[in-house]
Amino acid sequence: MPILGIESAIYGVDDLELCTRFWTDFGLTLLYSDEAESIFEVASGSRIIVRRRGDPRLPTAYGHQCGVHETIWGVDSQASLDALTADLGRDRPLRLDDDGTVHFAADDGMPLGLRVWSKRPILSQPDPVNAPGCVQRLNLHRKWRRRALPKTINHIVFFVDDYVGALEFFRDRLGFRYVDHSRGAGAFARADGTHEHHSIFFVSTTLPVAPDKPGFMHLAFGLEDIDELMIGVNHMEGCGWRNSGVNSSGGLSRHRISSAIYYYFDNPCGGEAEYHVDTDYLDDNWVPRVWDWKFGSLIWATRTPSFWQGAVEWDMRFDHDGASLEPFRRAPGAARPDPQVMPDRLGDMTDDDEHAI
Ligand SMILES: [Fe+2]
């Protein structure tokens, strides 16, 4: 019953015109715009739908926060959609749209949808990389571009009260795969019909950098290579968009978990938008791992986050059965732990460290 990835992310916003300009500058293709909404797409056919808050078509946002109000996951066939909804319908209300989209809520209330999706195949051709003694580009310069054009939506991230329970819902009811565990910080999961390292990341609201309730954090878009990413960054900065608030997040950086190079922008739609390149691609041969969050966070960063200054112990082991998750299960509404007693110096995390997790 493959879920192919995010078919649509539906935002509720206060300033539709400003948000429309943001996504246009970011490189998305505008399909439609009127007084009530703007609809964009990327090359894979994934869409960003931006509506004014209060629009009756919007569900209540997860945790009543700004940002993505509903995530619509694309399914490969009507038979798969029927199988998923037959199971979900056993213990929760479903709402069926005229276009066949099924809406429901996860166990923790996260608004979700499922829709049959003809995901477009992507053709990328990143330039070969030269190194001393390894010449893969002889008498051939690199590709030149004017703009970054996002190809895919790679993942979405939410702050959640119980990242173990959230992961289990997506794993057991939607077929997602458990991928990696950043100990005490959150868990990564991959939709079964796609290969990017993760399709969703559940971040713990116990972290000092988290809001005091669940909510949307960011959405990541796949680009071809670091040149396209930096051309996009330069263009966005020229348009006045910044990654300069509390979530500066290391500037241009490479995660150790997922291996991806990334750069964030503060998004007037809520949360942040991420340019994302050279992530790991996985299939079902992957063995999940559990990481110390500091070690898993970064290989390098151009603006070194505070937690990463000084020695970081190398700490990763395989976690094929997910046993590492159990101690981090959390009851809904449980009191936030005292940062002074959180393990692995998680309590030391500052706002600047947020996205490095
Ligand atoms: Fe991300």
**Reported confidence tier of residue 83, pLDDT bands at 50, 70, 90:** very high
Residues within 5 Å of ion ligand 1 by Cβ? 220, 274
Residue 76 has what pLDDT? Answer: 98
Question: How close is the Cα of 357 to the center of ligand 1, in Å?
Answer: 9
The overall pTM is greater than 0.85: yes
Token output for 152: 């895919």
End-to-end CA distance of the chain: 30
Question: How close is the Cα of 140 to the center of ligand 1, in Å?
Answer: 33
Residue 246 has what pLDDT? Answer: 47
> Does pLDDT of 216 surpass 90?
yes
CB 222 within 8 A of CB 277: yes
Query: What gap in Å lies between CA 232 and CA 121, rounded to an integer?
Result: 22
DSSP 211: -
Query: What gap in Å lies between CA 250 and CA 244, rounded to an integer?
Result: 10
Query: What gap in Å lies between CA 52 and CA 15, rounded to an integer?
Result: 7
Question: How close is the Cα of 10 to the center of ligand 1, in Å?
Answer: 18
Token output for 275: 């340019």
What would the pLDDT profile of 306-347 be if each residue is shown by its tens digit? 888 888 899 999 999 999 999 999 987 787 777 776 777 787
Question: How close is the Cα of 143 to the center of ligand 1, in Å?
Answer: 26
46-55, 265-274, 337-346: least confident range: 337-346
Token output for 225: 């290579």
Question: How close is the Cα of 135 to the center of ligand 1, in Å?
Answer: 32
Question: How close is the Cα of 155 to the center of ligand 1, in Å?
Answer: 7
Percentage of residues of the chain with pLDDT beyond 70: 95
Question: How close is the Cα of 157 to the center of ligand 1, in Å?
Answer: 7
Question: How close is the Cα of 196 to the center of ligand 1, in Å?
Answer: 12
Token output for 57: 């078509």
CB 39 within 8 A of CB 57: no
